[in-house]
């Protein structure tokens, strides 16, 4: 466990060595705040439903940018060869890296705490859905991150990792969308809408944490982290 | 300490390592020599559990790499070929990180780090970013990283590349010091380096062993004859014919006289020293002699001889 923490600390602090992380967080906060507050006084409701509704789309760009370098850079600079000859299991390395990306995402998301604070100052919102929304957003974020990390482990080019992660996440988002489910054979609809990253966010957006959604996001995260560890192992049979 | 048995590694059609068998004993500095692409790095990657072999086995201290890979990795310190380091960390941060990954904690970690700083002469650079260090210092950080947990087996893949002569002497001394108690595998294609540092050498080519032994054994064993350099005063043609008639001589080449002196190269095909008979012959003929030298076969020649392509 302590070696996982060592990996986690190293990875997490590496985000803050360059100014890019700060730029990133600022762009994220300014962007989401702007999009949220623009129609805020028109809607005139003290809840964060619209904010959480933005997050799947914002994460679509934000998460691949967080994960693109995680493995690709290690492969390119060949540090992977050292990392994987240290006495760490593949699972420990994968988990340490994943936790670091999740902590980074959580930092950015939790810095938007200014929004609920504003709401409490100017209105009287229900705290339940807001807390639920944050928890749900991080669960969804974890699934996105696991996908992004897996894709980063398949290439040594960060740009390729970004674009591929974007595409895969986008596809997983829209397969549950009515746009797609209306066009496919009806037998496939339940499967597609179950697999869609989006479908599971609808209730979270309203602030309702359903155990089925939690299980879905956790299992997506698990599956892609497993694939990530597998792809590290695959170098072995190359 | 290390036992390699029937090791094979195929990458698609390429047979990178071909049925390698060797053993390294505790406390040896073992030189692993071969031209570029001979399979040195691939073999090291298999020993360090980075990639598994296609077939065959590697045992480190009796532990099989496929069954006990974490235990094996704990015993090994490894410096890969291109010295890959995290360039955005400082030397201190990096060594602390590697130490923690290697399960060193608190006071133990601190004392090992201090030792690495002094052994690898990195104290002045401790707070510098690795990416901004010169090649020589990066190499030392790589070495410090490989030795921080005091490994039983130290594997260095081309550790001298990019170092200046002073640094080479320093690192060589360091390796020799390590080799007293630890086992060191030293990969290189620079022969003088290996012959100066290693107790035993293994030469590989196209993934297979072509020779193994101590540097002296190798130079002795593969000597196919010697070469003598002479300076003789006399008539060119008769000198050439005369020396050719000496027993054991297989060839004589002679250049044009300068002030009456010829520079002569004599090759033999025996291992015996024929210096005396050459001398006697010259004296008998009444020529003058100002130089008679037997040239040593160097490891370099053995290496070229063994690894020349198409052989």
- Interchain proximity B86–A14, CB inside 8 Å: yes
Nearest residue of A to residue B97 by CA position?
A6
Domains of chain B, earliest start first? 2-221 (3.40.50.300), 227-295 (3.30.70.1340)
Residues of B in contact with A81 (CB under 8 A): 45, 50, 80, 84
Per-residue pLDDT, averaged over B39-66, amounts to: 89
Examine the pLDDT at B297 and tell me if it is beyond 80: no
- Interchain proximity B101–A17, CB inside 8 Å: no
Examine the pLDDT at B304 and tell me if it is beyond 80: no
Interface confidence (ipTM) of the complex: 0.87
Confidence of residue B224 (pLDDT cuts 50, 70, 90): low
Direct distance between the N- and C-terminal alpha carbons of chain B, in angstroms, rounded to an integer: 33
Tokens of B186: 């030293």
Mean residue pLDDT of chain B comes to: 85
B253 Cβ under 8 Å from any chain A Cβ: no
B85 Cβ under 8 Å from any chain A Cβ: yes
B48 Cβ under 8 Å from any chain A Cβ: yes
pLDDT single digits (tens) B230-266: 888 888 888 888 888 887 788 888 887 778 888 888 8
How many CB contacts within 8 angstroms connect chain A with chain B?
Answer: 68
Residue A238 is predicted with a pLDDT of 43
- Interchain proximity B51–A236, CB inside 8 Å: yes
A186 Cβ under 8 Å from any chain B Cβ: no
Q: What is the DSSP annotation of B28-88?
A: -EEEEE--TTSSHHHHHHHHTTSS--SEEEEEETTEETTTSHHHHHHHEEEE-TT----TT
State the CB neighbour count (10 A cutoff) for residue A47: 18
A230 Cβ under 8 Å from any chain B Cβ: no
B102 Cβ under 8 Å from any chain A Cβ: yes
Q: Could you state, in order of their start, the residue ranges of all structural domains in chain A?
A: 2-233
- Interchain proximity B87–A77, CB inside 8 Å: yes
Give pLDDT < 70 ranges for chain A: 234-238
Of B71 and B268, more confident: B71
Distance CA B185, CA B152 (A): 11
Residue A12 is predicted with a pLDDT of 92
The H or E element that residue B6 is part of is strand B2-11
In the three-class reduction of DSSP (H, G, I as helix; E, B as strand; rest coil), residue A90 is classed as: helix
B138 Cβ under 8 Å from any chain A Cβ: no
Cβ-nearest to A81 among B50, B70, B89? B50
Angle between helices A49-76 and A158-174 (to 10 degrees): 150
- Interchain proximity B51–A10, CB inside 8 Å: no
Residue B120, Cβ density class (10 Å: 0-12 exposed, 13-18 middle, ≥19 buried): buried
Q: Which residues of B49-68 are buried (b: 16+ CB within 10 A; e: fewer)?
A: bbbbbeebebbbbebebeeb
Confidence of residue B102 (pLDDT cuts 50, 70, 90): very high
Residue B211 is predicted with a pLDDT of 83
Per-residue pLDDT, averaged over B273-283, amounts to: 85
In the three-class reduction of DSSP (H, G, I as helix; E, B as strand; rest coil), residue A67 is classed as: helix
pLDDT single digits (tens) B206-219: 888 888 888 777 77
Cβ-nearest to A6 among B50, B97, B145? B97
Find out whether A205 and A53 touch, Cβ atoms under 8 Å: yes
A238 Cβ under 8 Å from any chain B Cβ: yes
Confidence of residue B119 (pLDDT cuts 50, 70, 90): confident
Confidence of residue B169 (pLDDT cuts 50, 70, 90): confident
Q: For residue B137, what are the contacts with CB-CB under 8 A and spacing of at least 6?
A: B122, B125, B128
State the CB neighbour count (10 A cutoff) for residue A104: 22
CA distance A191 to chain B (A): 38
Confidence of residue B130 (pLDDT cuts 50, 70, 90): very high
B258 Cβ under 8 Å from any chain A Cβ: no
Which of A80-94, B5-19, B156-170 bottoms out in mean pLDDT, i.e. has the lowest?
B156-170
Strands (E), B133-275: 153-157, 183-188, 200-205, 208-213, 227-233, 249-254, 261-268
């Amino acid at each position: 466990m302590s070696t996982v923490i060592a990996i986690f600390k190293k990875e997490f602090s590496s985000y803050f060595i360059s100014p890019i992380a700060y730029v990133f967080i600022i762009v994220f906060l300014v962007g989401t705040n702007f999009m949220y507050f623009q129609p805020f006084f028109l809607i005139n409701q003290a809840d964060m439903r619209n904010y959480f509704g933005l997050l799947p789309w914002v994460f679509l760009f934000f998460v691949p940018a967080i994960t693109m370098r995680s493995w690709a850079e290690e492969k390119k600079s060949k540090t992977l060869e050292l990392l994987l000859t240290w006495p760490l299991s593949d699972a420990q390395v994968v988990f340490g890296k994943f936790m670091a990306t999740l902590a980074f995402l959580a930092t950015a998301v939790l810095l938007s705490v200014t929004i609920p604070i504003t709401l409490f100052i100017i209105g009287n919102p229900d705290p339940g859905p807001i807390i639920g929304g944050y928890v749900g957003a991080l669960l969804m974020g974890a699934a996105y991150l696991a996908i992004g990390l897996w894709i980063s482990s398949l290439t040594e080019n960060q740009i390729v990792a970004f674009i591929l992660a974007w595409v895969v996440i986008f596809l997983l988002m829209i397969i549950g969308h009515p746009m797609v489910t209306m066009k496919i054979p009806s037998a496939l609809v339940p499967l597609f809408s179950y697999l869609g990253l989006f479908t599971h966010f609808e209730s979270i957006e309203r602030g309702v944490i359903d155990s089925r959604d939690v299980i879905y996001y956790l299992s997506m995260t698990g599956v892609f982290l497993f694939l990530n560890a597998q792809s590290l192992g695959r170098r072995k049979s190359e | 300490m290390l036992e390699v048995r029937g090791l094979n590694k195929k990458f698609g059609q390429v047979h990178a390592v071909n049925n390698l068998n060797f053993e390294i004993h505790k406390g040896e500095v073992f030189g692993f020599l071969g031209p570029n692409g001979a399979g040195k790095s691939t073999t090291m990657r298999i020993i360090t559990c980075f990639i598994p072999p296609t077939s065959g086995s590697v045992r480190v201290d009796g532990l099989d790499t496929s069954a006990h890979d974490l235990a094996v990795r704990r015993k090994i310190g490894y410096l890969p070929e291109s010295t890959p380091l995290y360039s955005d960390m400082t030397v201190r941060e990096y060594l602390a990180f590697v130490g923690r990954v290697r399960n060193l904690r608190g006071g133990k970690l601190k004392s090992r780090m201090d030792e690495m700083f002094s052994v690898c002469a990195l104290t002045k650079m401790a707070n510098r970013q690795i990416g901004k260090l010169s090649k020589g210092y990066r190499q030392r950080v790589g070495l410090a990283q490989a030795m921080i947990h005091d490994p039983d087996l130290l594997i260095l893949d081309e550790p001298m590349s990019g170092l200046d002569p002073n640094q080479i002497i320093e690192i060589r001394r360091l390796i020799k010091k390590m080799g007293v108690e630890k086992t060191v595998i030293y990969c290189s294609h620079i022969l003088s380096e290996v012959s100066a540092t290693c107790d035993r050498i293994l030469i590989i080519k196209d993934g297979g062993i072509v020779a193994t032994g101590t540097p002296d054994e190798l130079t002795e064993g593969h000597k196919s004859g010697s070469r003598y350099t002479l300076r003789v005063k006399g008539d060119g043609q008769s000198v050439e014919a005369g020396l050719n008639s000496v027993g054991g001589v297989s060839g004589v080449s002679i250049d044009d006289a300068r002030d009456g002196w010829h520079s002569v190269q004599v090759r033999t095909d025996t291992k015996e020293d024929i210096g005396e008979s050459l001398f006697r012959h010259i004296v008998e003929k009444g020529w003058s002699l100002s130089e008679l030298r037997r040239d040593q076969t160097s490891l370099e020649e053995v290496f070229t001889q063994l690894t020349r392509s198409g052989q």
